Structure formats: structure tokens, C-alpha cells
Amino acid sequence: MAAVAAAAALATALVVVVTGPEAPEDETFVLVGRGGGEPGGGPLAFELKGKPVRGLYPGAVKQMRITVDNPLGYRLSVQRLSATVTSSSSRRGCPATPANLQVKEYTGRLPAIVAAGGRTDLGGAIPVAMPLGAPEKCAGVRFTIAISGVGYRVAR
Amino acid sequence: MRRAGRALLVGGVVTVLGAAGTVYAYAGGWTVDGRLGVTAKVAKMPRGAEPSVAAQSRRAVVSWSAQEIVPGVLMDHYTVTAHSVSDPPAPAVTHTVAADGGATESVTFTVAEVAGGTWRWSVTPRYLGWTGEQSRLSRRLTFPAAPATKEKGRETAPAAQVTVTPPRSPATTTAPAPSPAPERTSASPAAEPEPETPPAAPPVESATPPEEPAVPAPAG
């Protein structure tokens, strides 16, 4: 019976991952994922928080800092973080291409361990850069950066 | 019998999957992966700062506050345009000024450029090819027509003044004229051709023109 419950929880989790809630554009909260049910019931989830990047201009590199929230009752190991510019921008004249905006690799050390019920400000950051040749039509444009992460529950 | 076998098979699969999931979870093997958006917003170019203008030795000194695209990042150039409000209007005179990094920027329009006309000025900030909105126009200044040919040397005023309020030098007909270009001009000064001599310059015999000939007019 417990096994059936675990399997059901996994299926539910997968649905959540695929259809996860959309965050408002200016929210600083980024929900990374729900990975399944813990054996005792309840979701397995952790959260990332990242502040929106503002004030980009040609030649600017802004550092997007990430905070990991672990509401679970056991330690979490964040293994990977990555970010990409989504395919759309708020203005057609300034498409979301590498010529206009670039997101680099996370600069910090991973894995990062987050204590049970704890919160960790990661030491590194995700650089967001606007190339020097970005056209004038990009002034005032809003891009969306998709962040993804993978974490493991640390074995007891 | 077949029915019982099918039930047994389904039950077995469910049991195996569940057991595997439970073992995996206890082993710390759950991975979580998802993605949502964080916004990245690009700064807007600001509107130019309304310049202040002053007449000095028949020239126009235009100054304005330096501007930033974001806090701490100054504009690299400014386009300063003299708009004629004479009747008939003269062609606009434009200078591109490289920023010097100070809190205030300025540029001087020469006697030849402004003589015989009434002008207002605007400033447009630029950063790496991006252009902001043109500022509001300054107050207007009216300049008398340029002196006669013998004073042409004064029309190409010396390029030593770079601030708004330098000491006023006495009028003279023998001032050196090293360059006809305005101070701190980094590009072609005007889209329109710069006249060699103002078109409405009447002959003037006097060698000592008024020290401060420009007449500020009320803004309008």
C-alpha cells in the first residue's frame, strides 16, 4: 500500500513539474520544482529565489544572485543551476538573441548543501550580459530568463 | 485463471514500481527540475537635460548637467543643436560633444555660427550609439550680425574657453584664431554647411564692437 502511494506521489510530482505555476514577471520567487513524495507523505520541493535584473545597457554585466530555500526536513544538495534567455522579449525589434542578451554559466561552486529547513545564499551568481553591439531598439526592453536547477536529497 | 494472472501481473508491476521509488527516495536519489522566469530589464535612454546658455564675446556658451544611463554610468556623447528662431530661420547647427566625465558639460558655438540670428538650444544624450530624447529648448539668445571682413579673425574665436563662466576677454580685432571649430567638438559640427560669413553681415567700420553684443530675449 505504501508503495502504491509512493508511485502515485511520483506521478503527481511529474505533472507539477510539467505544468508548474507561472510566476508573475516581476516576482522574485522562482519555484524550481517538486520532485516527488517523501516516504512519509508530502511533497519534495525546494525553491530558488532570484531578484530581477534591472538597468542593463550595452556592455553591462549584471550578477543574478540566487538563494535556495529548503523547506524539507532533510538536507538538500543542489547539483546544477543553469539559465537561458527565453525566446521572446517584450519588443519585436529587439529579439532575445545572443546579440542582444547573454546569460552565462553559474559562477559558484556546486554542489551546495542546504540544511533541512534552511536557506542558503549561493556564493556564485549567474551573469547576465548585454553585448556592446545591442541595438538602440533594446532600450527599455524586458527579457525573461529561465532558470533551471537540479537537486538531490542528501542521504541520511 | 487468465483474469487472476492479469491481476497478479498488474499488482506485481505496481509493487515493483512503488518499492523502487521508495528505495530511490530513501537513497536520496530524487531529482527535481523545473524552470520559471526571472525578468531582465534594459535601461531606457533619458531625455536630455535642458541646457543653459550664455552669450560671451559674441559666442554662445551652452552648458548642461551630465546624464547617466544608469546610476554611475555617464553618457559618452551629447548632440547639441542650435535651433534658429529667426525669421526666416537659419539652418540648425549641430555639434557632437564627447563627454568629459564631469558633472557639467559645455560647448561653445562660434561667432560665425550664431551671428545675426536668434537661437535656442537642445541637448540629446547618447551612449554607445543609443540616443535619448531631445531636451526641452533653452531660452533664446539673439546675436547681432557679424562684423565686417576685417574682423573676420574674431569670428573664428580662440578655442581656449571650455567653461560657462570664464573671464570675459576684452574685444579686440587681433585675437588669434587657431581653429574655427567650437571647443570640445568631437565630430563634424553641423549637418548643414557652416557659412563662411554670416549672410546678413553688414559692413562695420568700427574696430571695437560692443563687448557683450548678444541680447537675451524672453523665452517663448
- CA atoms of A142 and A140, how far apart (whole Å): 7
pLDDT of res. B120:
98
Residues 102-141 of A with CB under 8 A from B: 128, 130, 132, 134, 136, 138-141
Using one digit for the tens of pLDDT, what is the confidence trace for B162-218? 323 333 333 322 233 333 344 454 333 333 333 333 333 332 322 233 333 444 444
- CA atoms of A27 and A16, how far apart (whole Å): 19
> Beta B31-42 vs A53-56: how paired, if at all?
parallel
Three-state DSSP string of chain A: CHHHHHHHHHHHHHHHHHCCCCCCCCCCEEEEEEEEECCCCCEEEEEEEECCEEEECCCCEEEEEEEEECCCCCCEEEEEEEEEEEEEECCCCCCCCCCCCEECCCCCCCCEEECCCCEEEEEEEEEEECCCCCCHHHCCCEEEEEEEEEEEECCC
Q: Name the DSSP class of B159.
A: T
For residue B186, give the amino acid letter. S
- CA atoms of B21 and B149, how far apart (whole Å): 98
- pLDDT mean over B113-120: 96
Residue B59 has pLDDT above 80, yes or no: yes
- pLDDT mean over B157-162: 35
How large is the C-alpha radius of gyration of chain A?
A: 18
pTM assigned to the model:
0.64
Q: Between chains, do B43 and A139 touch, taking CB under 8 Å as contact?
A: yes
- CA atoms of A130 and A85, how far apart (whole Å): 12
- CA atoms of B52 and B65, how far apart (whole Å): 9
- Of chain A, the end-to-end C-alpha distance in Å amounts to 24
Q: Which of B167, B109, B118 is nearest to B144 (CA)?
A: B118
Using one digit for the tens of pLDDT, what is the confidence trace for A3-61? 333 333 332 232 222 222 333 333 344 444 444 444 444 445 677 888 889 999 999 99
Contacts of A75 (CB under 8 A, 6+ apart): A113, A114, A115, A116, A153, A154
Q: What are phi and psi of B132, to 5 degrees?
A: -85, -175
Shortest alpha-carbon distance between residue A155 and chain B (Å): 5
- CA atoms of A131 and A102, how far apart (whole Å): 7
Choose, out of B26, B33, B38, B131, the residue to mutate when testing the contact with A (most A CBs < 10 Å).
B38
Residue B141 has pLDDT above 50, yes or no: yes
Could you tell me if A134 and A141 are in contact, meaning their C-beta atoms sit under 8 angstroms apart?
no
Facing B42 at nearest CB: one of A6, A57, A146: A57
Distances from the Cα of A61 to the Cαs of A100, A127, B17, B117, in angstroms? Answer: 12, 6, 47, 47
A-chain CB neighbours of B22 within 8 Å are 2-3, 6, 39
pLDDT of res. A30:
46
Residue B158 has pLDDT above 80, yes or no: no
pLDDT of res. A156:
62
pLDDT of res. A124:
92
Query: pLDDT: is A66 or B90 the higher one?
Result: B90
- The answer, yes or no, to whether the previous bond of B88 is cis (omega within 30 of 0) is yes
Residue B2 has pLDDT above 70, yes or no: no
Residue B25 has pLDDT above 70, yes or no: no
pLDDT of res. B14:
55
| Mean pLDDT, chain B, whole residue set | 69
The top-scoring range by mean pLDDT among A44-58, A67-81, A96-110, B182-196 is: A96-110
Query: pLDDT: is B110 or B187 the higher one?
Result: B110
